[in-house]
Structure 1
Amino acid sequence: MTGFVVSLALPAFAAGPEQTEAQTDVLAPAPAKPQLMFTLRGGVASTPEYFGSDENVIGPDLGFSFNYLSLRNGRTFGNLDPWADSMGLTFGGSFRFIQERTADDFDELAGLEDVDAAVELGASVRYGTEYFAAFGEVRRGFGGHEGWVGEVGADAILRPTDRLRLNMGPRVFFGDDAYSDTYFGVTADEASASLPAYDPDGGMVSAGIEFGARYQINDVWGLEGAVTWEKFTDDAADSPIVKQGSDEQWGVRFGVTRVFSIGH
């Protein structure tokens, strides 16, 4: 969907090794480890101008992922290898930013009220293995919309080389009544001959697929990109806003990633 998403994976912690006082006297000091490790992504993305648009716009692509955290009590979260996938069940946060929709910028939306930019905050759960991963996310909107949204998906994972990782799988997106009214509804006051009044219900909004790739250049630098396709379904597909545009939405993003370590 339009906007960018930042997922923060927070794997279950692993307790550090316990040592008795006697053992501490004879063991060599443990090597220093970073207290915090995370990855930032920056690049460009092509996304629909608004939900239902048949035109794309170029904008920034930003991303953040948590890799590792070491606490003073010896407990650790994550993996010291920032390129390793989380295995098993992990929980985390989810964030999405949706750009504003200004009717004056699009002749086909004349008469509609502007929609402010929105921020969505929520939680995520993921289960991963070496060659498969599934996830679910739920977020609440603030600003442009005040609704609830959710997304579920799964990926098949291929590793042609030690440095190249490929993933591909389905995505299904849901939104409640408040979300659907904001981006797909047309009120009686906004209605016109080209955009008749329409009051959509919440439910499944779209279904699609994503193909992603990640390449590790060295220990700290990498390249990452993805191509997404989705098709609006149910009440979203029947919206006059979508019918005058397109019910198929394409997205492409490409960025450079950098691993940061703090607290050596």
Structure 2
Amino acid sequence: MLIRLATVSSLALGIAAPALAAGPEQTATQPDVMVAAPAPAKPKLMFTLRGGVASNPEYFGSDENAIGADLGFSFNYLSLRNGRTFGNPDPWADSMGLTFGGSFRFIEERKTDDFNELAGLNDIDAAAELGVSMRYGTEHFAAFGEVRRGFGGHEGWVGEVGADAILRPTDRLRLSMGPRLFFGDDAYSDTYFGITAAESSAALPAYDPDGGMVSAGVEFGARYQINDVWGLEGAVTWEKFTDDAADSPIVQQGSDEQWGVRFGVTRVFSIGG
């Protein structure tokens, strides 16, 4: 199962003393206005956390889903003391134009003792994938690409590209839908879809898949803003394994179509400023 994540400154001003009343033969002296130097801007960080429940396949190729936690993190905005800023101070606004960020995915362990149909296969430890992402967004369209490297359960490289059409029926409701393509190298494919000679059996013969496109699918997402800091977010995903992944005996004894559903509550956090 997968677990999928205003600059404030102050200015102090001196206050000029009022001019003294002057008679016909008197003059009033206006004191100099004292202006303090601008105080350094305080660093400020804004981010959003999501927590909820999700239903995902029990393992890649399973024909049954399991219920688990849905956790997510997204970076919104950062202002530094030197005045540089990153992101958008409005946590509910989409980034426009070309932006770069991080990418993370967590894959739970696969213990074959939990699945009779996988008897004889080795266990696979949990894996964390870390990488970078690139996104181009407009008011009603967004496209993205991500590259990650696995640590733990697999040591391979994966990538994902996708695009979304975006609708905004109201100021608080955002809907998105678009295609997804997922890729993995030989190390990734061997880990989750391969079967070594030592693991093979009559039900699961030896199989050595190559890397390439792993799956193609679509995602429908929805987000609703309750107030300035709280929101609701959910998504439905469908993907179909392709090429060598689809031909794996692990997938053929299960299902080459994978459905996922998640729903969570989001909370915006602001630190500093």
- Equivalent residues in 2 for 1:78-157 (5 A)? 78-157=87-166
* 1:250 maps onto 2:249 in alignment: no
Shift of 1:28: 11
Q: Percent identity?
A: 86
What letter corresponds to residue 73 of structure 2 in structure 1? Answer: F
4+ aligned runs moved over 2 Å, structure 1: 14-17, 25-30
The match for 1:3 is 2
Preserved CA contact (<8 Å) 2:42 2:81? no
RMSD: 2.3
8 Å contact from structure 1 (residues 186, 199) kept in 2: yes
Equivalent AA in structure 1 for residue 236 of structure 2: V
Structure 1 residue identity aligned to 2:200: A
Once the two structures are TM-superposed, the CA of residue 255 in structure 1 deviates from its matched residue by 0.2
Aligned-partner residue type, residue 114 of structure 2: D
Kindly provide the amino acid, as one letter, of the partner of residue 217 in structure 1: I
Q: Which residue of 1 aligns with 2:50?
A: 41
List runs of 5+ in structure 1 lacking aligned partners. 7-13, 20-24
Instruction: Check the 8 A contact 1:48/1:57 in 2, yes or no.
Output: yes
Q: Which amino acid aligns with 1:3?
A: L
Structure 2: how far apart are the matches of 1:90 and 1:105? 42
Seen in structure 2, the aligned counterparts of structure 1 residues 213 and 144 have a Cα distance that, compared at 3 Å, is: same
2:232, 2:42 → 1: CA distance? 25
2:66 alignment partner AA: V
Residue 91 of structure 1 aligns to a residue whose secondary structure is: strand
Residue 183 of structure 1 aligns to a residue whose secondary structure is: helix
Deviation at 1:80, TM superposition (A): 1.0
Residue pairs, 1:184-199, within 5 angstroms: 184-199=193-208
Structure-1 residue corresponding to 2:29: none
TM-score, normalized by length of structure 2?
0.87
Distance 1:237 1:180, change over 3 A: same
Once residues 139 and 258 of structure 1 are traced to their aligned partners in structure 2, the CA distance between those partners, rounded to angstroms, is 26
SS in structure 1 of the partner of residue 201 of structure 2: coil
Whole-angstrom distance in 2 between the partners of 1:110 and 1:154: 38
Secondary structure class of the residue paired with 1:219: coil
In the other structure, the counterpart of 1:179 is: 188
Are the counterparts in 2 of residues 227 and 253 from structure 1 also a CA contact under 8 Å? yes
Whole-angstrom distance in 1 between the partners of 2:127 and 2:65: 19
Aligned pairs for 1:166-245 within 5 A: 166-245=175-254
Shift of 1:4: 2.3
Q: Which residue of structure 2 aligns with residue 73 of structure 1? A: 82
